[in-house]
Structure 1
Amino acid sequence: MQSNRRVPSWASALIGLVSGAVAVGISLLVAGLVKPSAFPVVAVGNSVVDLTPAPLKEWAIRTFGESDKTVLLAGILLILAAIAAALGRAAVRDLRYGLAGLAAFGLIGVVAVLTRPGSGLMDVLPTLAGVGAAAYALRRLVRQALVPVEAPAEPYRSVSGGADAVGAAGAAHDTGSALSTGQPQEPGEHHASSTPPVMRAGNDLYAFDRRGLLTGALGGVALAGVAGVAGRALSGRAEVSAARGGITLPRPVKPLAPLPAGVDFRIKGLSPFVTPNNDFYRVDTALVVPQVDPRDWTLTIHGMVDRPVELTFADLMKRAVVEADVTLCCVSNEVGGPYIGNARWLGVSLAGVLRDAGVQKDADMLLSTSADGWTAGTPVDVVMDGRDSLLAFGMNGQPLPVEHGFPVRQVVPGLYGYVSATKWVTDIKVTRFDRDEAYWTPRGWSAKGPIKTESRIDLPRDGATVPAGKTVVAGVAWAQHKGIDAVEVRIDQGPWRQTRLAKAPTADTWRQWVLDDWDATPGSHTIEVRATDATGYTQTGDRAPITPNGATGWHTITVEVA
């Protein structure tokens, strides 16, 4: 019987997957030595984020929430795995095809890395090292999977008389793991199941060596794992975590009084007045959280200023420290959405630092830049109008969590985060809106983003089934730097009913509300909520999407009463 078998499909896929794993592990290791953001997988992912149309980004946030970055990275790795498996199959047929494929993907990685903000030629080293290591692994695994065998004295025959030749060759190399440089073409004929298939490449014969391949694959996996672990360690996570743990927060010049009684109704299921750090929402473009050591951190303030300023973390801690209760909200928050939270922040006055620099009168924008290159454009007049705009390094009595911007982030009451709340901030350019653009502006979002007056129903949950009788309806409302004066609830298109408001220590935080006398009757009911701020404005019921400057509309839920 004539055979057409080559290396089994699982084996060629394994060769590609292990080579790909080596590329990822080695590139992560070198990125840890050079710059964590130069890791090509992250660079490609960030490029994907930058190039993704705004509607698709909105869909990802709605669908996956704060896991959108994990899903994106997982998707990229799955695609890479599929491509790596295909390259393994190509390399088994002809090693040159596999190496050419690796070179192509190396080029994509180099382009992605070099197009990131603040990149340099050294940043391509992780990509080049990863591709080089993968090429070596690919070549070695192919050689270990295909071992040369001695041709029999009788000339090789592909159809008749081939069984003796195959049997003799296979017996000579049944357990071998020698390296091979050949490029397998059509296999020879074989009849004995106890011998490996023999393949011809040119005038050479090769046998598939399962043991040799598995031995090489285990070595490759071990190398990839060790390199990956070392790369993560070198990326600074351990050092930054230790540095954060060693920080003792200074006392504010004027400590805030403890929160007054009555700011939190303490109703189960109602958002607490203070959002715990672990529960605080996170929406940003960082696929991998920047690891910034406070000992190396500096903040540069330049541009349209009289005296450029550069501050170290130690300099910042020596300034007058301010404490403020401020609610932050993401512009991606849909009506009734979860991307909002309230915390007690500790830091220094951003306005005070700007006054030291001497902001020139024609400047109207602060272009702040994160350690990973992301930018936000903040109106100068908002920061300088007396509100508690901070360079914050503390959150709810703890040093700022790494995922929320450690060592320093901006906090500006009354503005959506995309124009104000820069995490891991390292640079502030004082400029003008007609001269510079921040990250989201050319992607279809408004240059300025004041937070809109909104409200949300937390209890009961949308779609819930509740017992008949007295039922609590409760939630939160916000109008940062204006304050909430009233919240009304309407059931089944009936009259608007005033709710009871919790206390609010400042106009810069959200406010709890509750309606605790609804006598729920059996059936399906629709509940709506609206808020009125301290300026007298009542939020509109007109629905608008989050683009370009935040969603509007009344949060509406439906419940079943049994």
Structure 2
Amino acid sequence: MSVRLETPVEPASAGMPPRASSGWAALAGVVSFVAWAGAAEAAAVVTGPGGSPLLAVGSAVIDLAPAAAKDTMVGLFGTGDKVALGVLMAVVLVIVTGLAGVAEQHRPPLGRVVFGVGGALAVAAVLTRAGSGSLDAAPAVIGTVVAVVVLPGLLRRLWRWRLSTTPGWAAATEPTPPLGGAPVERRSFLTAIGLTSAVAVVVGAGARVINAGRADVAALRDGIALPEAAVTAEPVPAGASLDVPGITPYVTSNEDFYRIDTALRVPSIDPAEWSLRIHGLVENEIVVSFDELLALPLEEHLATLSCVSNEVGGDLIGTALWLGHPIRTLLARAVPTAGADMVLSTSEDGFTAGTPLDVLTDEGTDALLAVGMNGQPLPQEHGFPVRMVVPGLFGYVSATKWVVDLEVTRFADAEGYWTPRGWDALGPVKLESRVDVPASGTSVDAGTVPIAGVAWHPHTGVARVEVQIDEEPWVDAQLADSVSADTWVQWVHRWEATSGRHTVRVRATGADGEVQREARMAPAPNGAEGWDEHQVTVR
């Protein structure tokens, strides 16, 4: 006769306290989730890494999160937002599956229902990802089946352990199998918990490694020899870098370049399988392979890119030497038709960005399909094998990484990823400046103190930077040299500091005469504004 898992009335003399029992039930729920994840990852080895439900759910969370939540995560964790999201998801899943274990103990099959609902949501997340197929849903289904089998199996052993410590507890239940005594039943439960966890972790981790390594992108990237540029960038003048300790370098290294995107898992793309399709409102549809792209005349261009989420004084900005082919020449081959005013670029991971067509076709804008960054093939996290680089526009409307598709269309007919989430459709970079040194809240010695930092207005240029100490008149800072208006510029003011607590402010003036505005504005919906301000104590 089967054993029911319903909890009967418990006598006061029970040997295992109810709280302890619920705690073990919660652990059984968490272990069942670990089994779910391990089985799903193992199944994804067969169906393909696109079927990984954990990555799909994480990506869905990113997609569905409101702009305010995205701003909060980036503001709190910066480029560590993906790690923070992963930790948050893990905490939530542990809580939910732990509660499912307790629910299954007291009100079966409620815990299995929770896993069933979670599995259905995972299937939906997988099937709504870009490029997904029906087979990609199999890992989530298999994982759910495993969880709903494992959970009652673990709780049955817990029930036997509890019964062995309090013989009168289950008097109201049906006859039970012979018991081996509390030590034996406890060992049976703990062994089942340990073995299930170990097998799930080993299998799941191994499967994740296999899925992540199917395309050994690092080896493929290392094997690429970038061709010489047909048009080389102007050399960085010696005067572009000021001799001020702590100031931001004029060129940002690949390792230090910021990364903000929607990809929970960095796409692994074999360059031999990559292609770019240009279609839509064009006379000639074009498909370009990676080898064909490398064979085209490539150009070098030094450009500053920034994220729209960058707060006043923030570091979500960087300058690099990009190597690529001008987007405008490919668009010229495609011949956009009358009425087209936007190019919708799509990433391998499904992200989209809407870029004004007139910007991409402008002879004075060095918009590139970039294949190189600071003399190397693009790092994987920065778009390998191909990404877009468009000076003067925030990344969310232009800097599509892992780009695979360009659709010529109209703003009236299509929207990029962030536009329906409340962000401006055009995204021009604003005039901004930042104090790097002295850092806010620090103390310095009286005397000559360099106040230094960077200012930027890509594709327009910076003509002037001024510094204010407390409420004294604004004074001009010394501007360093720069390669072009598409890059930021370093600046410095030698301050004769006197003892006390002081407020240091900076503002910039663009080459077009625009003066940076004082009023603080949040990044949403079209970029932060305001003067960067530091508090400094002089000893």
Same fold by TM (over 0.5)? yes
1:221 equivalent in structure 2: 197
Q: How many residues align?
A: 520
In the alignment, the residues of structure 2 paired with residue 214 and residue 100 of structure 1 have an alpha-carbon distance, to the nearest angstrom, of 24
Native 8 Å contact 2:244 2:450 kept in 1: no
Structure 2 length-normalised TM? 0.91
1:350-372 Cα distance to aligned partner (Å, 9 max, x none): 11111121222321101001111
Distance 2:178 2:325 in 1: 71
Residue pair 1:383, 1:389 contacting (<8 A) in 2 also: yes
CA deviations over 1:242-292 (Å, ceiling 9, x no partner): 211211111111233442211111422100001111111111122222222
- Which of residues 285, 288, 296 is equivalent to 1:311? 288
Q: Residue 414 in 1 paired to residue 414 in 2? A: no
TM score, norm. by length of structure 1: 0.88
The unaligned stretches of length 5 or more in structure 1 are: 150-165, 171-186, 190-196
Q: How does 1:204-215 map to 2 (within 5 A)?
A: 204=176, 207=179, 209-215=185-191
> In the alignment, what sits opposite 2:502?
525
Report % sequence identity.
Answer: 45
1:459 and 1:336 map into 2 onto residues whose CA distance is 11
- Structure 1 residues 253-402: aligned runs within 5 Å: 253-386=230-363, 387-402=365-380
Q: Distance in 2 between matches of 1:105 and 1:135?
A: 11
Offset, 1:412: 0.3
Contact kept in structure 1, 2:161 and 2:189, CA below 8 Å: no
Partners in 2 of 1:220 and 1:126 — Cα distance?
18
Give me the whole-angstrom Cα distance separating, in 2, the residues matched to 1:362 and 1:303. 12
Shift of 1:2: 5.2
Structure 2 residue aligned with 1:51: 64
- C-alpha displacement at 1:488, in angstroms? 1.1
- 2:33 paired residue among 17, 20, 40: 20
Distance 2:473 2:44 in 1: 62
Matching residue of 1:181: none
- Tell me the residue number matched to 2:487: 509
1:555 matches 2:512: no
Change in Cα spacing, 1:97 to 1:537, as seen in structure 2 (3 Å) is: closer
Residue 127 of structure 1 pairs with residue 140 of structure 2: yes
Match in the other structure for 1:495: 473
Residue 443 of structure 1: how far off its partner (Å): 1.1
Question: CA offsets per residue over residues 36-82 of structure 1, 9 Å max, x none?
Answer: 34322232223322332222321221112122222222111111112
**What is the distance in 2 between the residues matched to 1:507 and 1:285?**
29
Which whole-Å CA distance do the structure 2 matches of 1:505 and 1:326 have between them?
A: 9
Give the alignment partner of residue 118 of structure 2, picking from 90, 102, 105: 105
Q: Deviation per CA, 1:148-196, whole angstroms, max 9, x where unpaired?
A: 99xxxxxxxxxxxxxxxx8xx78xxxxxxxxxxxxxxxx633xxxxxxx
| Higher mean C-alpha displacement, 5-14 vs 505-514 | 5-14
| Pairwise CA distance, 1:35 | 4.2
1:88–1:362: structure 2 CA closer, same or farther, 3 Å change rule? Answer: same
1:437 and 2:415 are equivalent in the alignment: yes
Deviation string, structure 1 residues 1-47 (Cα, Å, up to 9, x no partner):
85444783343222222111111122223334434343222322233
Which residue of the partner structure matches residue 202 of structure 1?
174
Give secondary structure in 2 for the equivalent of 1:291: coil
Equivalent pair of 1:91/1:99 in contact (CA under 8 Å):
yes
Shift of 1:95: 5.2
Partner of 1:295, secondary structure, is helix
Runs of 4+ with deviation above 6 angstroms: 197-200
Distance 2:151 2:454 in 1: 58
Q: Which residue of 1 aligns with 2:455?
A: 477
CA RMSD of the aligned region, Å? 2.2
How big is each residue's C-alpha offset from its partner over 1:87-117, in whole Å with a ceiling of 9 and x where there is no partner?
Answer: 2233344653332221121122122223334
**Which has more radius of gyration?**
1
Please tell me whether residue 447 in structure 1 is matched to residue 440 in structure 2.
Answer: no
| 1:424 alignment partner in structure 2 | 402
Amino acid at match of 2:143: G
Tell me, yes or no, if the aligned pair for 1:474 and 1:512 is still in contact at 8 Å: yes
- Native 8 Å contact 2:521 2:529 kept in 1: yes
Question: Does residue 235 of structure 1 match 2:248?
Answer: no
